[in-house]
Amino acid sequence: MGRNTRKKKSNTGNKIVNQILALLKNNPGQNYNPKQLVRKLKLKGKNRIELVTHSLQFLIEIGDVQEVEKGLYQSTIDESNTFIGKVDHVNPRFAFIICEELEEDIKVSKNFLNGAIHGDTVMVNITRPKSGDSKAEGAILEIVQRGKDELVGTIEISDKFAFVVPDSKKIHGDIFIPKRCINTAHNKDKVIVKVTTWASDGRKAEGKVVKVLGKAGLHDVEMHAIMAEFDLPTSFPKAVIEESEAIPEEISQKEIDKRRDMRDITTFTIDPLDAKDFDDAISIQKQKNGNWEIGVHIADVTHYVRPNTKLEKEAFKRATSVYLVDRVVPMLPERLSNGLCSLRPNEDKLSFSAIFELNENGTVHKEWFGRTIIHSDRRFTYEEAQELIEGNSGDFEEEVRTLNKLAYALREKRFKKGAIGFETPEVRFRLATDGTPLEVVPKERKDAHKLVEDFMLLANKKVAEFVYSRKKEPLTMVYRVHENPNPEKLASFAKFATRFGHSFNPEGSGVSHSLNQLVTDIIGKPEEDVLQQLAIRCMAKARYTTDKLGHFGLAFDHYSHFTSPIRRYPDMIAHRLLQHYLDGKSSADEKKVEEQCKHSSEQERLAAEAERASIKYKQVEFMQNQEQEKVFEGIVSGITEWGIYVEAVETKCEGMVRMADMNDDYYQYDAYNLRVIGERNKRMISFGDKVKVKILDTNLQLRTIDFEFIWD
């Protein structure tokens, strides 16, 4: 009984804070004492005055209420400093609130979160404006909408109760589970828990287990847990599958007659060895004038996925395919992604094409866009195409080498215009049949990869330019935009780069050229990865929008996504809009397309987080199986006041040396110079330093690796 009473009081207290704040905000300049507030809010209960007084003290503490006279209170909130945003709970001590209308996030201490957790939409008030390098600080006034009420974690069961430790690093509190609510879970099972009472006034959230995934640590269980954590579907609804199965496989002559027939032109695909869906192909044909006709052929997904169908609605909902370490969560059912739409070799296929006439220097003389029918003559893996580029003999060797030369010319033009040559390191895993990671292999990007990328970039760019210049009045289009980097971040990066002997001008119109020169200068040098990572952190995040903002990283004024409709919904939008304008129709509904863009950007971000989580889990599992005493060469990849991040060179696995574990001295954190310095031994550890580490601990549940330094 006592416990339930306390729970009720806890929830009531939190509710009263919001009620008082709303009343005072709606009556600016009006003073109230606690008794008046009790009457105005029609509060009941013996302790109502105590609750109101306690709530007022909290509101004074966060700066939203002031005591103007003894016992009289009024709101201090300036409505112009109040915003709606999403919680990004980066660590246990504070969160950032991301607001669309603000350029920078608002920092909120854990004491002023008002019960909000990661992913919640909240109303936040700025209590301390931005000053110098420090962010604006604020307090959450109200939880507008909970992000989700089901969380994934590992259950710990004791005699009388249980609790779930969430998998997400951004959920910083366990969930209390009454013994009657554990479902069929056993100790250390991975479960999905539904929150029934949110945390407040120092009390944990409470919940009930709604699904048991299985024993934590098993490969399939963990992958399903990651899928559940990021709300990824495990299957398609039956109605969607039935709709996909009902689509005829045969291409009618009537449909062929509507299209440009390119089946007699040499065409092939170049994809990863394990690819099952082929959404782009390239054709090549020599012209009488010495130029080359290059066709970029894209699977005509929108021919099969029609508006207002169940397939369409499911594709929009998912918005993207998600690539975990051992599986794909596809945007479209397999019959479409691997069958009807896939540009498989030796089959007639419907495509949407961008056809270009290029000279040897990569200059485009003519362009054509429209629906086609093609017949792929060959399916190349990247490795097979690379062998031809490097001089080996084989099918279509001259065609592949010609495409590579043209790709080089296109790339050179792009870099001369200011494109940034970032090469973000990626890894892949070699897995045993039970999912155990046997090897972590950095992915290599060779000319064959770049060849395909360059022609896809050309098509994406030219489609966007074509729509942009189609009519005098602006036409609605889905653009992939990458805005200019934050000037303050660039200035800080430029200062840091000088420590390695590199100059970089962060100001003026030549920023991209200067940055690209720096990227070129550091290739093959020890500081390459570190400076590239820091430079990438300065960049804005690419997103989809109808706004014509250009792409800084690629140095394109107009850029869209047209080339991957099997796995990206925005490409489907681009196909529909392009055909709409080819048919001579007026501009599409901008508001509707912008909503589609926003949803696609959010789903893309979610997919990237899920992919990173699956990679991180496998990296931790891999390192867990390494010899405990093995020493790894590493690079300092991040420095915070609580620890030093180190990336192992051999495996690209990142872990942390915690400050609390550095017992040889007391280390001071120098945030400005991104380093720590020993108080007695004066040892300095800086961002980018080469170090040696060994594994101290691994935690699969939290997906963390703890290192310790090994000093010579």
**Beta carbons of 77 and 109 less than 8 angstroms apart:** no
**Beta carbons of 152 and 146 less than 8 angstroms apart:** no
> Does any domain span residue 462?
yes
Residues 269 and 346 in one domain: yes
* DSSP helix/strand/coil, 639: strand
What total of structural domains would you count in the chain? 6
Cα four-point dihedral sign 682, 688, 689, 694? positive
Residues 97 and 190 in one domain: no
pLDDT of 12 reads 43
Q: Which domain holds residue 525?
A: 487-538
Give the residue ranges of DSSP H helices in 130-218: none
Q: Which two tokens stand for residue 398?
A: 């001259």
Residues 403 and 294 in one domain: yes
> Does any domain span residue 243?
yes
Helix-helix angle 397-417:382-389, to 10 degrees = 90
> Does any domain span residue 175?
yes
**Residues whose CB is less than 8 angstroms from the CB of residue 170 and which lie 6 or more positions away in sequence, other chains included:** 88, 89, 90, 118, 119
Name the domain boundary from 145, 169, 202. 145
Side chain identity, residue 443: K
CA distances in angstroms from 405 to 169, 360, 410, 444, listed in the order given: 46, 8, 9, 20
Residues 369 and 449 in one domain: yes
Give the other-Cβ count within 10 Å of 532's Cβ: 20
Name the domain boundary from 75, 92, 111. 75
Element (H, E) at 61: helix 48-61
Give the other-Cβ count within 10 Å of 346's Cβ: 9
* DSSP helix/strand/coil, 220: helix
> Does any domain span residue 176?
yes
Closest by alpha carbon to 128, among 60, 59, 29, 62?
Answer: 62
DSSP state, residue 107? E
Element (H, E) at 229: helix 219-229
- Angle at 318 (CA atoms; ends 194, 322), nearest 5 degrees: 90
Q: Which two tokens stand for residue 330?
A: 């596809």
Give the residue ranges of DSSP H helices in 361-482: 382-389, 397-417, 447-468
pLDDT of 42 reads 85
**Beta carbons of 374 and 280 less than 8 angstroms apart:** no
> Does any domain span residue 131?
yes
Q: Which two tokens stand for residue 417?
A: 């215009």
Sequence-separated contacts (24+) of 647-654 with Cβ below 8 Å = 647/529, 648/623, 648/693, 651/427, 651/440, 651/619, 651/622, 651/623, 652/425, 652/427, 652/440, 652/442, 652/619, 653/440, 653/619, 653/620, 653/622, 653/623, 653/705, 654/619, 654/705
Give the residue ranges of DSSP H helices in 230-339: 238-245, 253-257, 301-304, 310-318, 334
pLDDT mean for each 10 residues of the chain (712 residues) = 34 67 77 90 84 88 84 82 92 91 89 90 87 83 91 94 93 94 96 93 89 94 95 96 96 97 98 92 97 98 97 98 95 97 97 98 97 98 97 96 98 91 82 92 91 98 96 90 87 83 78 83 78 84 95 94 98 98 95 97 96 95 90 91 91 93 92 88 90 94 92 86
**Residues whose CB is less than 8 angstroms from the CB of residue 37 and which lie 6 or more positions away in sequence, other chains included:** 20, 23, 43, 52, 56, 73
Question: What DSSP string describes 552-570?
Answer: TTTTBSS----S-TTTBHH
Residues 37 and 105 in one domain: no
**Beta carbons of 560 and 478 less than 8 angstroms apart:** yes
pLDDT of 565 reads 98
**What pTM was estimated for this model as a whole?**
0.86
Residues 243 and 369 in one domain: yes
Residues 212 and 254 in one domain: no
Residues 209 and 168 in one domain: yes
Give the residue ranges of DSSP H helices in 508-660: 511-521, 528-538, 569-582, 590-624
pLDDT of 533 reads 80
DSSP state, residue 110? G
Give the other-Cβ count within 10 Å of 407's Cβ: 24
Residues 594 and 649 in one domain: no
> Does any domain span residue 222?
no
Phi, psi of 287 (to 5 degrees): -95, 160
**Residues whose CB is less than 8 angstroms from the CB of residue 171 and which lie 6 or more positions away in sequence, other chains included:** 89, 117, 118, 151
* DSSP helix/strand/coil, 317: helix
Q: Which two tokens stand for residue 642?
A: 């609580």
User: Measured between alpha carbons, how far is 118 from 580 in angstroms, rounded to an integer?
Assistant: 40
Say which CATH number the domain at 632 has: 2.40.50.140
Say which CATH number the domain at 172 has: 2.40.50.700
Residues 457 and 520 in one domain: no
> Does any domain span residue 284?
yes
Helix-helix angle 34-41:48-61, to 10 degrees = 110
Residues 370 and 445 in one domain: yes
E strands along 26-149, which residues? 65-69, 72-75, 82-91, 94-98, 106-109, 121-128, 137-145
> Does any domain span residue 224?
no
Residues 346 and 407 in one domain: yes
Side chain identity, residue 470: R
